[in-house]
Structure 1
């Protein structure tokens, strides 16, 4: 199978991180893979280190008259069977770079409720949750042209722990994600104010809300109990150093961090946003609390801190769920079936 993945996303983000994991995993599995990305030195270096030297293009705004032609040249040179467009901008440029006579199938990969007008011309869509599949069909997209293809996380079991900037005896919690209103870290900080002082929070991520969050830390008197770590690539090490993972999002179509928590055998406490609600079996593989309810979030964290045996059982069940559904092997098999179907649809006209 020859597959071209086109990603015009941000420097950091869940979809962007999974794009890198999938491209490199498919390459290791023997697929002939082309990665076309928006210019970004870090992503390019990570892909090249894994054996996939990417094509880097501008993927700019309305006045970018060069990218579509350059993308078309790259695709014609590579001759893929399937082109997978990741998110709206990539889908628009991929459509502009494709002519009716080209031999490749067009597929779109969606990780959220994106405007489907960008995916006109796609033979097939991949969505990473059943809830998103259902939403796509309610928007008028034919049900026989959308498939559930879940994400996988890296297997983080056994990773040595990172050093966290907390004093001896601290009980470290971990939260990760873009510092953005959708992630609702203020609710987590307010929950922290209800927890005993040995409990500390490591917050890995960066974004436009950082100054406001730092101000809230001061307002709540949390002081050195909260550490802002910035963007980190050593997710497994951070999880290994933490007692549990907390995901307080208001909007979370999937929540790759939940899968990473499962993978690392860490108990997960999350709010009942769409993705965590679909992935977590409440009380078995994690705990779910109402969105925006800091008291309920604090109570759920306290339950697991006060009952280590229950926390360990939840972590073990999460790890088993990861291996069954969200490890590299089963997800690569799902992607292989998806790509084969997309190619077959193109061949059948």
Structure 2
């Protein structure tokens, strides 16, 4: 089986899943090639067997003209079983190639359908996205296939390395520092909880603003900025509670990663978590933007170890049943075998 991928993402949860899926498919004998942005920090995590072509596919660039021609020629040469574009922008590169299934994979809500003129089917990672594209007028195929993450548990990092007391409650979150992730709100929520430490992993344009919020609230001594980490699992394993405060989150890969390490999760009632989380069963849900609500939910888990253990166990069970590598990889393999 041969699959071509187009992926112009940066460095975040969607990229981690791309790496996970490409590796899972390689383990199952799928021959793959991929067009990605140059200098991606996760390129080295892709299997050596995957052929890589680098391009930004920017407007007003020579690649904007030449890359579609190269891709179409390569598709004619190798005759793939499937061509897979990751997100709307990559879907603009989809060639009008016959004889294979052409898939656009969506991890967010598209604004219009013009990107997908050459796509046979849209793979949405939540039912909400699938419903959205149908409402926009999409009449071709739609499938819901979610993400998976590594389920192996790892040893925690030493808290002392990050100047954090061994007995202090530690709240963690991670992702790109952009406004919708609401790390400033989470910082304000933790500031209301004396003695609680906050670990934030990631990079992005909002980082300096979050640091300023921590300084203005007088909690710089309790907030640790961990930077981008290739493997976040040891940091999640060292925390007591994981919080996902985003005001918009189509799925929430980081929640799956926290569940894999057996951590109890507090999440906003954003799109993805509202689909697969059940309040008080596999996590605690808080209204979007409710700083006090996040403070109260964190405090509940700190003060009630029985509840914390219950929601952590419920999260792990949901992960294994609904988001396993075997189930997701097999769903994609079945899809690749279809003919348009």
TM-score when normalising by structure 1: 0.91
- State the SS of the aligned residue for 1:160: coil
Supply the distance in 1 between the matched residues of 2:218 and 2:56 (Cα, whole angstroms).
45
The whole-number CA distance in structure 1 between the counterparts of 2:264 and 2:165 is 22
Secondary structure, aligned partner of 1:285: coil
Structure 1, residues 82-116: CA drift from partner, whole Å, max 9, x if none? 1010112211122xxx245x433211000001232
Tell me how far apart the structure 2 counterparts of residues 212 and 78 of structure 1 sit (CA, whole Å).
48
Which of 172, 179, 194 is matched with 1:174 structurally? Answer: 172
Is the 8 Å Cα contact of residues 267 and 315 (structure 1) preserved in structure 2?
yes
Deviations 1:173-223 (A, max 9, x none): 1100111111011211111111122x1010001111111111100111102
User: Aligned partners of 1:93 and 1:122: how far apart in 2?
Assistant: 10
The structural deviation recorded for 1:41 is 4.7
User: Could you tell me how far apart the structure 1 residues matched to 2:320 and 2:292 are?
Assistant: 32
Structure 2 residue 148 is matched with structure 1 residue 152: yes
Aligned match for 1:299, one of 296, 299, 305: 296
CA contact (8 A) 1:259 1:322 kept: yes
1:286 aligns with 2:262: no
Change (3 A) 1:38 1:73: farther
Segments of structure 2 that go 5 or more residues without pairing to the other structure are: none
Q: Partner residue of 1:184? A: 182
Closer/same/farther in 2, CA of residues 41 and 300 from structure 1, 3 Å limit: closer
Instruction: Please tell me whether the aligned partners of residues 81 and 337 of structure 2 are also in contact (alpha carbons under 8 angstroms).
Output: no
Distance 1:43 1:295 in 2: 36
Seen in structure 2, the aligned counterparts of structure 1 residues 76 and 55 have a Cα distance that, compared at 3 Å, is farther
State the shift of 1:170 in Å: 2.0
Residue 267 in structure 1 maps to residue 243 in structure 2? no
What's 2:39 paired with? 40
The answer as to whether partners of 1:156 and 1:260 remain within 8 angstroms in 2 is no
Report which stretch shifted further, 181-190 or 73-82: 73-82
1:147–1:338: 8 Å Cα contact kept in structure 2? no
Matched, 1:248 2:234: no
Supply the RMSD in Å over aligned alpha carbons: 1.5
Matched pairs, number: 334
Structure 2 counterpart of 1:234: 231
Matched residue, 2:72: 72
- Gap runs ≥5 in structure 1: none
For residues 122-159 of structure 1, what are the alpha-carbon distances to aligned partners after superposition, in whole Å with 9 as ceiling and x for unaligned? 111100001111111111112x61110111011132x0
Asked if the contact 2:26/2:47 (under 8 Å) is kept, the reply is no
Once the two structures are TM-superposed, the CA of residue 230 in structure 1 deviates from its matched residue by 1.1
Asked if 1 retains the 8 angstrom alpha-carbon contact of 2:80 and 2:100, the reply is: yes
Q: What secondary structure, in the 3-state scheme, does the structure 2 residue paired with 1:167 have?
A: coil
Task: Give distance in 2, aligned partners of 1:37 and 1:79.
Answer: 20
Task: Indicate the residue corresponding to 1:138 in structure 2.
Answer: 135
